[in-house]
Amino acid sequence: MKVASLFLALALSFTGASTFAAEQPNVLFIAMDDLNDWIGCMGGHPQTITPNLDRLAASGILFTNAHCTAPACNPSRSAIFSGRAPNQSGMYDNRQQMRELLPDATLLPQRFRDHGYHASGSGKMLHYFIDAPSWDDYFPSPATENPIPDSFDPPNRPVSLPRGGRWQYIDTDWAALDVSDEEFGGDWLVTKWISERLQEPHEKPFFLACGIYRPHEPWFVPKKYFEPFPLESIQLPLGYKENDLDDVPPAGVRGARNRYFEHIQSEGQWRQGIQAYLASIHFADAMLGRVLDALQSGPHAKTTIVVLWSDHGWQLGEKEHWQKYTGWRGVTRVPLIVRVPASISPALPDGTAAGETCDEPANLLSLYPTLLELCGLPPQADNDGPSLVPLLKDPQQSQPGASWTHPCITFLAEPGSYSISGRSHRYIHYADGGEELYDIVNDPFEWDNLVADGSSNEELVRLRSLAPKQFAERVAPSVASLIALPWQSLQNENDAIPRSKPDGNPFDIYLINQRTTAVEVFKIDPDGKRQPFGQVQAGQQKPQRTRPGEVWMIADPDSKQELGYFQVDDRTARAIIPASSN
């Protein structure tokens, strides 16, 4: 009997069966789009309603000082899924194409597939594409490369915020919709599909990705999510302060004043926008609740690691800014919650402590190596971030010898521009040399730039020393990857060509002539007069500097017949002149 007991003990010690499950853990990877710290457990806005985010945080570890790798969807998500930092990959902004810069990168779901996992997902995980070869299954169909199912769209837009000009993103708008969650579609369909997967038995361990699109614009959600936020009770953002740009360097001021906040104020829509953002968060939280309920009631609750993150935050008037893209904390700081059940991870056999918080600076770039370590998979050699497992083991780094020294860097769109987040201070550096320094313990909203304050020199020197040493060149997206401007054909001589209304910053469009003969290019000025801009030869393309709202007319150089025109929108694009003018 004693020999048998000894044999059993030795067997358990070698297999590890007494510490963690023999099967590999599952992963539920949840993204929320454009979500800042306006959730209850982070205290970003006193009126927010997020019971499901709060209950997830209460069951795992909440990182209160987590930051995105880039303050825009595309570079942030590309960094998370590739494990590559923007200064290494060259992926800096939304206009670039991930697979053009990282054609051979092994994305996170593929890495799990390579080690026996079934990888599936639904909703926006990458920037408006799926990357079908990296997944076993996706909804909508991976063949479409469109990750977002249809949602209810008001027939007459804009609904609330008039478009200030073609410089304005067309989805910057909001409305309470008289539809049910199911009629709304979108995130309801995503969470339905994910919930069904969580209720099913699985032969393999799974990596399941859930992309909840709200609170991304447009802030259209069912009206019941607006009802808890009466307009007359709406409070301004806690971080708003008048004249908050007085001590910000010129590059920061230019980034802040992108015209959106000024336009929203002029239309009397500031509080309406805040209301709609809160309603969209409330809706997104309800969709999260469906997923958490399905996990809890299904067969995988005790064997599934849950990670929830947002790709970046959002400013709603702080520092006169509306949108994302800046290096300030309102945009870089994001919700990050990790829950690991006990006895499933060889790297964390006790699991995560419920309700713990971690104040150390953590970056979303670390999600790739963290999940590999938690699931016992080999590290990916080209990952640029450190694993967060040491912080999951000891969130406050209180154990002897614990020291989290990894810099937490957010890369802005221009190489050489970035912010560094520490435990007590944050530093912003612009490519032209402008700097900002904030004491986030005493000044969490970053109102007072301390660069010129001698009392903070030591911290300024320390954060400067953590600056990236190299920056990959920003590579422009290929012309073929750009959106196409609608071709407006002129069917007869009575068709009117609109006048240009130039408004916004310049960029290039690419005139592509598919005709068998050359065409002549004219810009229609604000007075309706034609200004010649040369020709585009047959089968050729030509870059043309332009601005939002300008109109470019195409004519036959011999007959002088007007063939059609393009009206420039808010971004660089292809302008394809068809083989036939019809």
Q: Is 406 a catalytic residue?
A: no
84 band by pLDDT with thresholds 50, 70 and 90: very high
Interval 199-216: pLDDT, tens: 999 999 999 999 999 999
Which pLDDT value is given to residue 301?
Answer: 98
How far are the Cα atoms of 118, 327, 332, 350 from residue 417, in angstroms, in the given order?
Answer: 38, 9, 13, 40
Once rounded to an integer, what is the mean pLDDT over residues 380-398? Answer: 96
Does residue 210 carry a catalytic annotation? no
Q: Which tokens belong to 167?
A: 């410089």
The pLDDT of 263-285, averaged and rounded, is: 98
68, 73, 210, 408: the catalytic one is 73
Residue 40: the pLDDT is 98
Question: CATH 3.40.720.10 residue ranges in the chain?
Answer: 28-400
Question: Which DSSP letter does residue 19 get?
Answer: T
Give me the pLDDT at residue 491, please.
76
**pLDDT, average across residues 358-368:** 98
Portions of the chain given CATH number 2.60.40.780? 482-577
Q: How confident is the model at residue 582 (pLDDT cuts 50, 70, 90)?
A: low
Nearest to 564, CA basis, from 572, 573, 574, 576: 576
For residues 66 and 417, give the distance between their C-alpha atoms in angstroms, rounded to a whole number: 19
Please give the CATH topology (third level) of the domain spanning 482-577: Immunoglobulin-like (2.60.40)
CA atoms of 514 and 468, how far apart (whole Å): 45
At 11-69, the pLDDT tens digits run 333 333 334 445 899 999 999 999 999 999 999 999 999 999 999 999 999 999 999 99
Look at residue 149 in the predicted model and tell me its pLDDT: 97
pLDDT higher than threshold 70 for residue 9: no
pLDDT-derived band at 503, boundaries 50, 70, 90: very high
How confident is the model over 530-556, as a mean pLDDT? 97
This prediction's pTM: 0.94
> pLDDT tens digit string along 122-149?
999 999 999 999 999 999 999 999 999 9
- Segment 417-460, tens digit of pLDDT: 999 999 999 999 999 999 999 999 999 999 999 999 888 899 99
Give me the percent of the chain exceeding a pLDDT of 90: 92
Beta bridge partners of 31: 211, 309
Mean pLDDT to the nearest integer, 309-328: 98
Report whether the peptide linkage leading into residue 349 is cis, meaning its omega lies within 30 degrees of zero: no
CB burial of residue 442 (10 Å; 0-12, 13-18, 19+): exposed
**pLDDT beyond 80 at 492:** no
Strands 66-67, 362-363: pairing kind: parallel
Catalytic residue chosen out of the listed positions 45, 67, 118, 127: 127
Q: List the Cα angle 336/418/42 in 5-degree steps.
A: 25
- Cα dihedral 271, 277, 282, 286, rounded to 10, equals 160
Residue 5 has pLDDT above 60, yes or no: no
Answer yes or no: is pLDDT of 545 > 70: yes
Topology at the third CATH level for domain 28-400: Alkaline Phosphatase, subunit A (3.40.720)
Torsion angle of C-alpha atoms 441, 444, 446, 447, degrees rounded to 10: -100
Has residue 508 got a pLDDT over 70?
Answer: yes
Nearest to 235 by CA among 316, 332, 323, 330: 316
Average pLDDT over residues 489-494: 79
